[in-house]
Structure 1
Amino acid sequence: MPDLSEAITAIREGAKEKDRFTYLTILQYNVTSPEVLPTVNEVLEKDPQLTQEIGWDLVQILLRIPGAETCLETVARLGNPREVMIKVMEALEQLGEESGDENALLAEAETEEPEPPKDVAARFITLLGMLAILHRRIKTKYPSRFLGSSLVKVYEAYQPTPEMTASVINLVRSLSGRKRPPLPSRKSSINVANPDQDGDASKNAPDPEAEQEDPTEEMMQAKLLQAFVTCILQRYINENEMQWSARLLEKYYPEKNLPGRKTMTQKYTEDDTLQQRDAVVGQFVSILSDLGVDDCSQSFVKSIYEKASGFDPLANFENFDSADEIKLSPGGAVSLIAYWIFSAEVFEANHPSPEMHLFPEHNTLLERFLGADPQSEIVQNPGIADALVTVGLALNHMKLVSANQETKCMAYHHSLTLVSVFHPDLHVRNAATTYAGIVLHSDPDDHNRLEILEDLLENCMFATLKAVAVTWLKEEILAANKEGASANAFTGPEVVDHLQYFIFPDMQELKDMDHEALAEHWAQNNIFLSQVANFGYFLFSSGLKGVVPSGMGAAVAERFMDPLVAGAEKLQQGVPELGEGEKMELAILVDRLRSIPL
Structure 2
Amino acid sequence: MSQCQSENPLIKALPPETDYLSYLTIVEYNINEAQLPTLHRILQDTTLTTNIGWDLVHLLLPLLPHSKLCLQDVARLGNPREVVLKVTELLEKLGSRDEEDEDLCSDDSEDVEDTEEAKSIDGGAQNGTTRIKTPSREVQFCALLDMLQTLLPRIKTKFPSRFLSTSLQALLPAYAKIAAEEQATEAVIVFIKALAGTSRPKLPPRASSTSMPIRKDEIPQSAPDPEGNDGSVGLEEETLQKRLLQAFLTFVFEAYMTALPLVEDVPGMAWCSRIQEYRQPDSIIPGRRTFTELFDSGQGYLHNRDAIVGQFTALSRDLSFTPPALLTTLITPPSPPSTPTDLPSTASEVPLSLPGALYLLTASGVASILFDAPCNLPSIRLFPHYAFIVAQLVGISSPASAGTEPLALIDAILALHSCLNISKEDPKSDSENSFKETLQRLSLLSANTPNASLRYRAHLVTKSILYSHPSENVRMAYIKDTLQNCPYENLKASAVAWLKDEIIAAGRTETGKGVFATPATLTTLAPYLFPNPHSLTTSNNDFTPFLAHQSFFLAVLNLVYLILSSQTLNVSSWDLIRCTETWTGQLKDVANGIREVIKVGREEGEDAIEGLEMDLTLLEGNIDIVEEALKEIPVADNEQEGPSG
Q: TM-score, normalised by structure 2?
A: 0.81
Counterpart position of 1:221: 241
Matched, 1:59 2:82: no
CA gap of 1:118–1:588, structure 2 versus 1, over 3 A, is farther
Question: How far is the alpha carbon of 1:479 from its aligned partner?
Answer: 1.8
Matched, 1:167 2:187: yes
Alignment partners' CA distance in 1, 2:26 and 2:482: 74
Matched, 1:281 2:309: yes
Q: Which range is displaced more, 379-388 or 128-137?
A: 379-388
Contact 1:24/1:54 (<8 A) preserved: yes
Alignment partners' CA distance in 2, 1:338 and 1:436: 18
For residue 360 of structure 1, give the secondary structure of its aligned residue in structure 2.
helix
For residue 547 of structure 1, give the secondary structure of its aligned residue in structure 2.
coil
CA gap of 1:393–1:43, structure 2 versus 1, over 3 A, is same
Counterpart position of 2:295: 268
In structure 2, which of residues 588, 592, 600 is the aligned counterpart of residue 566 of structure 1? Answer: 592
Q: 1:415-564 alignment to 2 at 5 Å?
A: 415-482=441-508, 484=510, 486-509=512-535, 512-515=538-541, 517-522=542-547, 524-559=548-583, 560-564=586-590
For residue 296 of structure 1, give the secondary structure of its aligned residue in structure 2.
helix
CA gap of 1:55–1:447, structure 2 versus 1, over 3 A, is same
Q: Percent identity?
A: 30
Counterpart position of 2:416: 391
Question: How far is the alpha carbon of 1:487 from its aligned partner?
Answer: 2.3
Q: Deviations over 1:437-461 (max 9, x none)?
A: 1222333222222111111111111
Question: How far is the alpha carbon of 1:74 from its aligned partner?
Answer: 0.8
Question: How far is the alpha carbon of 1:383 from its aligned partner?
Answer: 2.9
Q: Deviations over 1:461-517 (max 9, x none)?
A: 1111111111222222222223747422121222222112212211123565323x2
Contact 2:493/2:551 (<8 A) preserved: yes
Contact 2:323/2:361 (<8 A) preserved: no
Contact 1:369/1:377 (<8 A) preserved: no
Alignment partners' CA distance in 2, 1:403 and 1:336: 29
Contact 2:316/2:360 (<8 A) preserved: no
Q: Which amino acid in 1 is paired with 2:189?
A: I
CA gap of 1:198–1:376, structure 2 versus 1, over 3 A, is farther
Q: Which amino acid in 2 is paired with 1:332?
A: G
* Corresponding pairs, count: 569
For residue 359 of structure 1, give the secondary structure of its aligned residue in structure 2.
helix
Contact 2:403/2:447 (<8 A) preserved: no
For residue 440 of structure 1, give the secondary structure of its aligned residue in structure 2.
helix
Q: Which range is displaced more, 222-231 or 274-283?
A: 274-283
Alignment partners' CA distance in 1, 2:92 and 2:242: 24
CA gap of 1:127–1:330, structure 2 versus 1, over 3 A, is same
In structure 2, which of residues 345, 348, 355 is the aligned counterpart of residue 324 of structure 1? Answer: 348
For residue 321 of structure 2, give the secondary structure of its aligned residue in structure 1.
coil
Counterpart position of 1:110: none
Contact 1:129/1:194 (<8 A) preserved: no
For residue 296 of structure 2, give the secondary structure of its aligned residue in structure 1.
helix
Question: How far is the alpha carbon of 1:134 from its aligned partner?
Answer: 0.3
Counterpart position of 2:200: 181
Question: How far is the alpha carbon of 1:306 from its aligned partner?
Answer: 2.8
CA gap of 1:411–1:8, structure 2 versus 1, over 3 A, is farther
Counterpart position of 2:324: 296
Q: Which amino acid in 1 is paired with 2:40?
A: N
Q: Which amino acid in 1 is paired with 2:371?
A: F
Counterpart position of 2:634: none
Matched, 1:24 2:51: no
Matched, 1:70 2:69: yes
For residue 64 of structure 1, give the secondary structure of its aligned residue in structure 2.
helix
CA gap of 1:583–1:538, structure 2 versus 1, over 3 A, is same
Counterpart position of 2:34: 35
Contact 1:492/1:547 (<8 A) preserved: yes
Q: 1:122-133 alignment to 2 at 5 Å?
A: 122-133=139-150
Q: Which range is displaced more, 143-152 or 446-455?
A: 446-455
Contact 1:479/1:485 (<8 A) preserved: no
Alignment partners' CA distance in 1, 2:368 and 2:69: 42
Alignment partners' CA distance in 2, 1:7 and 1:65: 24
Q: Which amino acid in 2 is paired with 1:76?
A: A
CA gap of 1:215–1:129, structure 2 versus 1, over 3 A, is same
CA gap of 1:518–1:228, structure 2 versus 1, over 3 A, is same
Q: Deviations over 1:110-169 (max 9, x none)?
A: xxxxxxx97100000000000000012111121000000000001111132211111111
Contact 2:60/2:67 (<8 A) preserved: yes
Counterpart position of 1:243: 270
Question: How far is the alpha carbon of 1:200 from its aligned partner?
Answer: 4.8
Contact 1:167/1:194 (<8 A) preserved: no
Q: Deviations over 1:537-564 (max 9, x none)?
A: 3333344553222043343333442333
Question: How far is the alpha carbon of 1:41 from its aligned partner?
Answer: 1.3
CA RMSD of aligned residues (A): 3.1
Contact 1:52/1:79 (<8 A) preserved: yes
Q: Which amino acid in 2 is paired with 1:58?
A: L
Alignment partners' CA distance in 1, 2:327 and 2:481: 31
Alignment partners' CA distance in 2, 1:191 and 1:286: 28
Counterpart position of 2:265: none
Which structure 1 residue ranges, 5 or more long, are not aligned?
A: 104-116
Counterpart position of 1:90: 89
Which structure 2 residue ranges, 5 or more long, are not aligned?
A: 103-133, 261-267, 631-645
Alignment partners' CA distance in 1, 2:313 and 2:483: 42
For residue 123 of structure 1, give the secondary structure of its aligned residue in structure 2.
helix
Q: TM-score, normalised by structure 1?
A: 0.87
Contact 1:493/1:548 (<8 A) preserved: yes
For residue 356 of structure 1, give the secondary structure of its aligned residue in structure 2.
strand
Contact 2:33/2:67 (<8 A) preserved: yes
